[in-house]
Amino acid sequence: MEINLNDEHKVRSIDANEKNKFKFVWLNKSVKIKLPAKGNNTNVEEIAVNVGDSIKKIDISGTVNCQLCTDTIYYEKRGFSAISSHLQTKKHLSKVQAKRENYTLPANFFGVSKSAAPCPAVPSALVQAVQLQFKCL
C-alpha cells in the first residue's frame, strides 16, 4: 500500500531497522536522464525528471515502488542511489520515452497566433444535419 507524506510517522516505524531510512525529500529531487531527442533517434537529450513522478513509498521496509515500471526498488542498503540507479535502467528509460512521446501535446496546440482569426460559429448546415440524425434514432 502506498504511503503519503501525511503518514511519515508510519515510515519511521516501518524502516526502523533499516540502515538507510526513506526520506520524503527524495521525492522532490530531480535526476538527469538521457533519452533520444524527440523525432530524431540519433541525438541524445538530457532531461531532468522529478523522482516523485514515478516513485512512491510503500508499506514494506526498505522498499519503494516505481509506478511507471511497476518495479520494486530496494533502497535499504544504498539509500537514494538505489532509486537514482533505477531511474537510469533501460526499462525505466523506455517507459519514460514512451510516456513522453505518447502523452505530450504539440506546443502549437495551446496557442493561437495573433494573426489568426477567431473560430467561426458552427455552420447552421452542420447543426441541422446533427439534429436530423438524432430524429432518425
Q: Average pLDDT of 4-29? A: 88
106 to 28, 79, 97, 101, 127: CA distances (angstroms):
27, 37, 16, 10, 30
Q: Average pLDDT of 53-73? A: 94
Of the ranges 31-45, 82-96, 112-126, which one carries the lowest mean pLDDT score?
112-126
User: Does residue 61 carry a pLDDT above 80?
Assistant: yes
Percent of the chain at pLDDT > 70 equals 73
User: Does residue 22 carry a pLDDT above 80?
Assistant: yes
CA 114, 118, 123 angle in degrees (round to 5)?
160
Whether the Cβ atoms of residue 34 and residue 94 lie closer than 8 Å to each other: no
User: Between residues 5 and 105, which one has the greater pLDDT?
Assistant: 5
User: Does residue 52 carry a pLDDT above 70?
Assistant: yes
| pLDDT tens digits, 68-91 | 999 999 999 999 999 999 999 999
Q: Average pLDDT of 2-29? A: 88
CB atoms within 10 A of CB 18: 15
Q: Average pLDDT of 98-111? A: 68
Tell me the whole-structure pTM to 2 decimals.
0.69
Surface-to-core class of residue 97, CB atoms within 10 Å of its CB (0-12 exposed, 13-18 middle, 19+ buried): middle
pLDDT value, residue 35: 87
Cell of 43: 541525438
Whether the Cβ atoms of residue 48 and residue 30 lie closer than 8 Å to each other: yes
